[in-house]
Amino acid sequence: MGRTLAEKVWEQHVVRRAGGEPDLLYIDLHLVHEVTSPQAFDGLRMAGRTVRRPDLTIATEDHNVPTVLGPIADPVSKAQVDTLRKNTAEFGIRLHPMGDDGQGVVHIIGPQFGLTQPGMTVVCGDSHTSTHGAFGALAFGIGTSEVEHVLATQTLPAYRPKTMAIEVTGELPFGVTAKDLILAIIAKIGTGGGQGHVVEYRGEAIRALSMEGRMTVCNMSIEAGARAGMIAPDETTFAYLKGRPHAPSGAARDAAVEYWKTLRTDDDAVFDTVVEIDASTLSPFVTWGTNPGQGRPLSDAVPAPEETDDPSAARRALEYMGLTAGTPLTEIQVDTVFVGSCTNGRLEDLRAAADVLRGRKVVTRTLIVPGSMRVKAEAEAEGLHEVFTAAGAEWRAAGCSMCLGMNPDTLAPGERSASTSNRNFEGRQGKGGRTHLVSPAVAAATAVTGRLTAPADL
């Protein structure tokens, strides 16, 4: 019987298999940030161990850094960042500190440097590691004790997950983006829909996505409960990798591409679960509740709890969000707009926001935060920062920013945002803050009107 893409990459990395035990997987790339690494390094020190492959390990500062460059005022954030600096220096790991031109959100810099490549195993002490699956890598988040294990051995014990195919047929209509697609997928299968599975996104609409769009989709796999998300590499992938600093070049590239082409699910392979979705039926999508599965087309209204799969959760969510069933979603007023994060902080996302904001003015506080300093430089080379500042938006330095309340960019209690990030949990963007997840284009249009708006309605 044929094998799925996930099975091929998994099998390629098994270094030890024994009955009743998890497989021991070799790890090709280990990404590290300040939040989930301190105890792991402490563990190494206590055991007198070194980092097995510092050359396959790379660290960045992202969650705790301010996006207006300067000293870190919050003592906890400062301690985390200082600890990462000390640990990476002591263990010989490359670090991209705040202000460095290679710094950025961990899931933005791996692909940007060409470190993330098809067929690799990629781990990080961070749930959105699934982003890297867009390259046909098997990429997943791990806990802090696993971070220590990978640092020490470059391997990870893991049980083989089940496989799920999400077949996206048809074409996305004009103005409907990768973010709308993944929000619609999560609304359909639920936040537990992918549990225990590696999801492979397949079909015509996926093939038509850019690498940026594919990363947006894979990024949010975890919000559907999946262990990882993957997309088979193709010409789009190979073209994206070409010329990146860590991607193979010359004869090595030719050989790599030959191998990468084999990284596809065999025609006769069988998935444990198959879900189908027709892209041509989709429209801009937003969340109304407090988990990423509580979403609807923007042209709809806030649902009545009884209309949803989980009425009691919906009731709680509506109360927290301060929303009344039946209100058209386009009548919801927001105070703040955030464009950024590892979901939508790449150049293409900033271009989409700029296309909407060009020649217009924002009426809300609007933060535009590039996912990395490299994205910032590229955006500035195209003059996007001028579009943003002329519109009255704030143009910041790279970091996780308002994706989560671990740095100065937060919502005040009761404030409402339209946010291109991936989580709308209670308090995610600051205590009492209310989050509506949207695409960059919808975020920008919302900044112009002050209420949830699709660009087509401007």
Ligand X SMILES: CC(C)[C@H](C(=O)O)[C@@H](O)C(=O)O
Sequence-separated (6 or more) residues with CB below 8 Å from residue 266: 2, 3, 4
Question: How far is 29 from 269, CA to CA, in rounded Å?
Answer: 27
Interaction residues for ligand X, span 374-413 (CB under 6 A): 404
141 binds, among ligand SF4, ligand X, none (CB under 5 to 8 A by kind): ligand X
The stretch among 94-102, 150-158, 287-295, 397-405 that binds ligand SF4 (CB under 6 A) is 397-405
Q: Smallest gap, in angstroms, from Cβ of residue 127 to ligand X?
A: 4
Note whether 175 binds ligand X by CB under 6 A.
no
Maximum C-alpha span of the chain: 64
Nearest residue to ligand X, by Cβ distance, number only: 127
Which amino acid is it at 214?
R
Residue from 433, 376, 430 nearest 408 by CA:
430
Which amino acid is it at 333?
Q
Count of residues touching ligand SF4 (by CB under 6 A): 13
Question: How far is 68 from 401, CA to CA, in rounded Å?
Answer: 10
Note whether 62 binds ligand SF4 by CB under 6 A.
yes
Q: Smallest gap, in angstroms, from Cβ of residue 106 to ligand X?
A: 8
Note whether 35 binds ligand X by CB under 6 A.
yes
Which is nearer to ligand SF4, 105 or 352 (by Cβ)?
Answer: 105
Contact 284, 175 (CB under 8 A): yes
Interaction residues for ligand SF4, span 96-135 (CB under 6 A): 105, 107, 126, 128
400 is annotated as contributing to ligand binding: yes
Note whether 181 binds ligand SF4 by CB under 6 A.
no
342 is annotated as contributing to ligand binding: yes
Report the interhelical angle of 384-391 vs 373-381 (nearest 10°): 90
Place of tokens 């919808």: 442
403 is annotated as contributing to ligand binding: yes
Interaction residues for ligand SF4, span 267-326 (CB under 6 A): none
Note whether 126 binds ligand X by CB under 6 A.
yes
Question: How far is 300 from 283, CA to CA, in rounded Å?
Answer: 10
Q: Smallest gap, in angstroms, from Cβ of residue 140 to ligand X?
A: 11
Question: How far is 456 from 292, CA to CA, in rounded Å?
Answer: 24
Residues listed for the chain:
458
Question: How far is 72 from 79, CA to CA, in rounded Å?
Answer: 9
Binding site for ligand X (CB under 6 A): 35-36, 63, 126-128, 141, 404
Binding region: 342, 400, 403
Binding site for ligand SF4 (CB under 6 A): 62-63, 105, 107, 126, 128, 341-342, 400, 403-404, 421-422
